[in-house]
Chains A and B, each alone.
Chain A
Amino acid sequence: MIEHVADPILEIHDLTVSYSKRPVLWNIDLTLPQGVLAGIIGPNGAGKSTLIKTAMGLIPKASGYVKLFNKDLEEVRKKVSYVPQRESVDWDFPASALDVVLMGRYGHVGIFKSLRQADKEVALDCLRKVGMEAFADRQISQLSGGQQQRVFLARALAQDADLYFMDEPFAGVDASTEKTIIALLKEMTAKGKTIIVVHHDLNSADEYFDWILLLNTRLVASGPTEKVFTKELLQKTYGGKLNILSSVGDLLHNEQFPNRE
């Protein structure tokens, strides 16, 4: 079940990516409408992170193309923001929360030029939006995992993009951070921003996202949550992984499966 849309904000055509001859993504073909909060769901090793990294040009493609706003990435870089996994950086780096958020302005300030007061104000404002203004001057190693994730999100906000790719923004964060982040993302999509999130928690997926991509090397499904988040398609995505299959039962809480506990 792959639903295509007219005037897509993201179009991926015939995309294949492989690591040393082993395909990680196979023949991905999808289109995504503007203004959705989309979740990429699939088992470990399904190529979820690889999909967004490839869209950002960080991993070479074996075949196919990616178009953003119907253009090549190079032409629209300033309108696109990428949030890497929190674990991908060394949080012992000598920098404050504000320093990291200021990095979000680097793409707007050209080479040779330095940041201005206006950039600092944007950065502080973004910290405020994620509830971290009190920690602006704190060194990033002194922050909790959830706070670090908020700082990463603030950096993405500071980029002032129209399309966001986020790699596991809910991984290892506390419940209140998760609530703050999801509220913020919903607010952003209400303003017409498009957000694509790699997500590992099936329990919250249907509640959080209004568009879902089910991925397991191949694209199993792509479409509005109510059409895609079905038992059949989830089973197709997670295949024979029994422990996950049983949790698929738990997730379909709408259908009121009998509780075996």
Chain B
Amino acid sequence: MNDFYIILTGILVAVSCSILGTFLVLRKMAMVGDAISHAVLPGIVLSFFITGSRESIWMLIGAGLMGVFTTLIIEWLHKKTKLQEDASIGVTFTFLFALGVLLISYFAENIDLDQECVLYGEIAYVPLNTIMLFGLELPKAIVMLAVVLILITAVIFFFYKEWVITTFDAPYAASIGMSTVLWNYILMSMVSFTTVASFESVGAILVVAFLVVPASAAYLITDSLPKTLFFAVLFGIISSVAGYYSASILDVSISGAMATAAGIIFIICFILQWIQKQIHTSPSILQAEEQDV
């Protein structure tokens, strides 16, 4: 049963991150996802101090606010000071993450959080911390991750066309009356929730890997958005399962093995795409194309 819970945790994180990651990659904001996943740390620590509890709901709210705040700072630095966007991202999230690390280490004795856990997580401990729900004893992390996944899926599904249009052509979306700013902040809030819900179990580094890698791999080999989303989710799930079993065979870090599996899938997709390109640009096909046109 423990194996199952650990794999399920990995899958829940992977699916949430892959869905959001697809939109981040298409919006050329993958690094903003990276930034948010680190910058939420002081938000979590502060909400812990303010409420005195590690109840997930307060952490989600604290992190959600922090995620939007991070996005605001990055945009403000980029627009007002003419600092390049990548530099703005680098400055903002390292500063906020460091602030979070300082807060944790300063209050180390009376806080139930540690820096190692934030970076690497401890997915193997997921089955230990349980909660009673509908008469079932379920790991807390799984309940929280399932809620986040349902939330994300609903928001993406019900507003699918809004996501498509604000991602593909923001000025056009604005011209038909959609608030591109609002949709952007909703996306950033969802990235923040997912990060917080995930990192306790899998750590910030695996969250970043799941946000960027499966979506990028899917992007390489697909030509329509539903397919990109489908393959991103599929690659996320495969990475979790393959990562878990290879970790237990090789006796290595589970999070590390999952991230590595995602990387290997990306390489395979890259090679597939390269082969496909070679076939497409071969002379015989090119002639056929010309006749077609």
Contact = CB atoms under 8 A, between A and B. Distances in A.
Interface of A: 53, 56-58, 74, 77, 80-82, 84, 88-90, 93-96, 99-100, 103, 106-107, 109, 111-112, 114-115, 139, 155, 159
Interface string B216-255: 0001001111011000000000000000000000000000
B172 A82 contact: yes
Interface string B145-170: 00000000000001111101101110
B135 interface: no
Given A111-B159, A112-B158, A58 B224 contact: no
Nearest to A80: B175
A93 B168 contact: yes
B176 interface: yes
A111 B161 CA distance: 9
Task: Give the one of A58, A106, A109, A112 with max B CB within 10 A.
Answer: A106
Contact of B165 (A106, A139, A159): A106
14 contacts: A74-B177, A80-B175, A82-B172, A84-B171, A88-B169, A93-B167, A93-B168, A94-B222, A94-B227, A95-B225, A96-B223, A99-B164, A106-B176, A112-B158
Given A103-B165, A106-B161, A115-B161, A93 B26 contact: yes
A84 B175 CA distance: 10
Nearest to B161: A106
Main secondary structure of the interface of A (DSSP, over half): loop
Interface string B162-193: 10110111011011110000000000000000
Nearest to B293: A144
B169 A89 contact: yes
Contacts of A82: 171-172, 175
B174 A58 contact: yes
A80 B177 CA distance: 11
B171 A107 contact: no
A57 B175 CA distance: 7
Contacts of A77: 176-177
Contacts of A111: 159, 162
Contacts of A88: 169, 171
Q: What are the 4 A-B residue pairs with the smallest beta carbon separation, nearest first?
A: A82-B175, A107-B176, A139-B223, A56-B175
Select the residue from A58, A84, A94, A159 with max chain B CB neighbours within 10 A. Answer: A94
B171 A94 contact: no
B251 to A, nearest CB: 39
- Grouping DSSP codes into helix (H, G, I), strand (E, B) and loop, the B interface class, with mixed when no group exceeds half, is helix
Contact of B175 (A58, A74, A114): A58
A152 to B, nearest CB: 9
Nearest to B178: A106
Contacts of B177: 74, 77, 107
B171 A103 contact: no
Contacts of A109: 161
Given A94-B222, A106-B161, A58 B228 contact: no
Contact of A103 (B28, B158, B164, B219): B164
A136 B171 CA distance: 23
A88 B172 CA distance: 10
A88 B175 CA distance: 14
Contact of A94 (B165, B175, B228): B228
Contacts of A115: 161
Given A84-B169, A84-B171, A93-B26, A99 B224 contact: yes
B169 A103 contact: yes
Nearest to A85: B171
B213 to A, nearest CB: 17
A94 B169 contact: no
Contact of A95 (B159, B168, B172, B176): B168
Given A103-B165, A103-B172, A96 B224 contact: yes
Contacts of B168: 89-90, 93, 95, 100, 103
A56 B175 CA distance: 6
Nearest to B223: A139
A94 B174 contact: no
Contacts of A96: 223-224
Contacts of B28: 90
B152 to A, nearest CB: 17
Given A81-B175, A88-B171, A94-B223, 16 more contacts: A57-B175, A58-B171, A58-B174, A74-B177, A84-B171, A84-B172, A84-B175, A89-B169, A94-B219, A96-B224, A100-B168, A103-B161, A103-B169, A106-B161, A106-B162, A106-B165
B292 to A, nearest CB: 8
Contacts of B171: 53, 58, 82, 84, 88
Contacts of B160: 114
Contacts of A84: 169, 171-172, 175
